Chain A
């Protein structure tokens, strides 16, 4: 579409028009255009109306006291609502509202009865007594068989559950999952309709806490089979036993929860509905919705924190529970398998600078240990009973270690190391900070290998890195959820660290039911990881968010359903 050439001399008429258009043409043509515009508007209106018939939706305000409804967002559609196969936070968050296990966490994070009202455990055996009033949302009673069926499903090799490992404390679970034993040999049985007996493979002092985990939820066998492989695919493809039920689920668009009248403790639940009316990963969109009074909560990140501060909102923070660190590759053919090179990197690492000058988001804690501060120890908190020293940078020490490392490795100058990292803005910022830090303090060149999620995982699994920016989130409320991470047999030990002393400490913590013995073993793990520079701990993640001030009783937690609205209510305006 080229610009047309100027009219020729012969086109005198046009020349004249261009210079001084006739007034009649001007207004007439404008009128024509206006008419065209009106037609366009009309067509648009008709099409809008037609299309509106074709789509459905619409949402209310952030809080509606009259109907007891809270409106929220989800970062994504729940990928897997089948509790035996779910692995992700969004699915677990919804499951935490619509399902209930044998035990659950209350508003003060204490473990209390869920479907079970009484339970007793010895070292190798636990018995749960189901409460008589526990019902599915259809009104049918929940029986011990529902648990036996679901738990067998979890360890069934054909089901290929990625969370099967969380059942491995139960007798024969590991062998069944490997396909070596029949499903029926799982150490769980229904003594009668309302009594469940669990035999363990080894002492699991925290087994009660595990039963609050979504993977341990009950599933009704007859219902499961009746869905013909579509269990949990849609709202009507599930039986609910939690405080809420999914009343409508428009995939990718919205997911609405409504109070479950058949929940045994329905009197405790004050909200009538939780409407997840928007599904988007765009944090700015969520912030805008919050500003507009359409959603009751928005998380903040480094990009939109300033905006939130300007609004003078009350900023809340809580420990997310996860720990972020640089995992070093210990494979013998890697330079990072050299003790002094690792110690050199560790010596110049400055988690405080990272947290306060680079990440600059309130709520994060400079990392000291693989074990985060909120884990419980013998009586109080683990980190109070077994403190980890602060990581203070020491350049001179780093250079001494580096000199020794170069000597041992037979190198003339500091090497180049590959740092594998994700592709998010914060991962960029952090990896570039470390690239600069290691170059300045040690003269070590860092080659940043930036990869999208699946490729990064593939490279981590293949051990294709010297340093990888990694993190670990807890599954259950016991130091073991972090403690066995760098045991030689752990699949998630991507740096392939092997140390019999660490393995032994983990084994002691695994096989003992004495709290002090276990915590001392974890303290040894903590010390080995620091002393041998297995990983370089960066920070403990904190989350920052703003919530509608009229929503009360919201519970945020590191382990379990988060955010938890089951105890929430709306304050009258």
Chain B
């Protein structure tokens, strides 16, 4: 177990290093200059700006300097937010993205399990057909549509009520968090519903359910103790990667609801060629994803002893 953990962690470190290297050279291969602005500046000022950000050195040398700083945990200063360190940006904004992501995943997990179990229970009858239709909608409609519709819905509800039930946008209070996290979790919830449904149906036909029934257990008990519990396992398995995906994929929702999350920086930095923020957010998110996957593997081994860790 320990050897396995160490091996996985080492692999993770190499993966992160690879991500950092690929991003660094890919980023420098993109045409355009991070310091370019609407107004051209005289060559002398240009040279000074380049020197300030160390862009006057050859790219391989910049890479070595960059790796050195990264090992020290220093991602440098943003090009666009010129007074802010990338470390501060990540620290201040990731907690918002994480909040949004955790809520969305809780919402998606409980929703997915509930709806999935319900559809399995009412297989091929009206509730099943309606929910499965909604699930297909949830998987295929992109999140910016849900975000815009959700916001418009909130405006209309507030107007109809005459007071603010849910804020239209912004961040900070519990009310601010509910609508965006539901919108963000919708796609994952739809996916989990499908997963739960098929998992439930598969288990309904397994031998141990038949055994439980034939020995006279009450149907309710069979459902809860045997079917539901076992059906949840595959859902739990995909939760880890889902957490990472949701936390990193909130860009659109953050934009529409004016939420100060990290996703915004992650995307805008690429558009603005903000080198330090691109590197900082990519390496951070990469490490986060790698860590989540390792964590799920390890936890899965603990939960289900049949999974051999080697």
Contact = CB atoms under 8 A, between A and B. Distances in A.
B168 A288 contact: yes
Report, as a range, how many residues of chain B touch the other chain.
35 or more
B300 interface: no
Contacts of A81: 83
Contacts of A452: 32, 271
A51 B33 CA distance: 39
Given A40-B106, A58-B173, A82-B83, A178 B198 contact: no
A231 B170 CA distance: 28
Contact of A178 (B37, B44, B213): B44
A32 B170 CA distance: 37
B89 interface: yes
B106 A43 contact: yes
Given A87-B37, A491-B41, A233 B84 contact: yes
A288 B204 contact: no
A447 interface: no
B106 A453 contact: no
B135 interface: no
Contacts of B171: 55, 57, 253
- Identify the 10 closest CB pairs spanning chains A and B, nearest first: A57-B172, A28-B220, A40-B110, A491-B40, A25-B219, A454-B32, A233-B83, A253-B260, A160-B48, A252-B260
Given A1-B194, A458-B32, A251 B123 contact: no
8 contacts: A36-B110, A44-B106, A51-B177, A52-B174, A58-B172, A157-B48, A280-B258, A491-B41
B273 A56 contact: no
B-side binding surface: helix, strand, loop or mixed?
Answer: helix
B36 to A, nearest CB: 4
A454 B272 contact: yes
Contact of A280 (B95, B109, B121, B169): B169
Contacts of A148: none
Given A32-B224, A43-B110, A457-B36, A252 B45 contact: no
Contact of B205 (A14, A54, A55, A281): A14
Interface in A272-298: 277-282, 284-285, 288-289, 291-292, 294
Given A36-B113, A51-B102, A457-B33, A22 B219 contact: yes
B44 A11 contact: no
Interface in A26-56: 26, 28-33, 36-37, 39-41, 43-44, 47-49, 51-52, 54-56
Interface in B35-55: 36-42, 44-45, 48-49, 51-52
Interface string B141-176: 000000010011011001100001001111111101
A56 B80 CA distance: 25
B170 A59 contact: yes
A22 B198 CA distance: 21
B89 A251 contact: yes
A457 B32 contact: yes
Interface string B73-106: 0000000111110001100110110010011001
Contact of B37 (A1, A162, A231, A277): A162
Given A32-B228, A48-B103, A51-B103, A177 B42 contact: yes
Nearest to B109: A40
A80 interface: yes
B256 to A, nearest CB: 5
A415 interface: no
A54 B199 CA distance: 36
Contacts of A82: 82-83
Contacts of B110: 36-37, 39-41, 43-44
A250 interface: yes
A74 B95 CA distance: 22
A277 B41 contact: no
Interface in B203-228: 204-205, 210, 213-214, 218-220, 223-224, 228
B148 A32 contact: no
Contacts of B106: 40, 43-44, 47
A265 B201 CA distance: 75
B172 A160 contact: no
B95 to A, nearest CB: 6
B234 interface: yes
Interface in B111-150: 111, 113-114, 117-118, 121, 123-124, 148
B260 to A, nearest CB: 4
Given A4-B202, A36-B114, A250-B260, A162 B224 contact: no
Nearest to B157: A292
B257 interface: yes
Given A33-B118, A51-B103, A278-B258, A454 B48 contact: no
Contacts of B42: 164-165, 177-178, 491
Given A40-B106, A58-B173, A294-B168, A454 B33 contact: yes
A461 B214 CA distance: 80
A2 B199 CA distance: 9
A225 interface: no
Contacts of A56: 172
A9 B261 CA distance: 55
Contact of A47 (B52, B102, B123): B102
B255 interface: yes
Contacts of B96: 55, 253
Contacts of A43: 106, 110
Contacts of A2: 198
A18 B121 CA distance: 9
Nearest to B32: A454
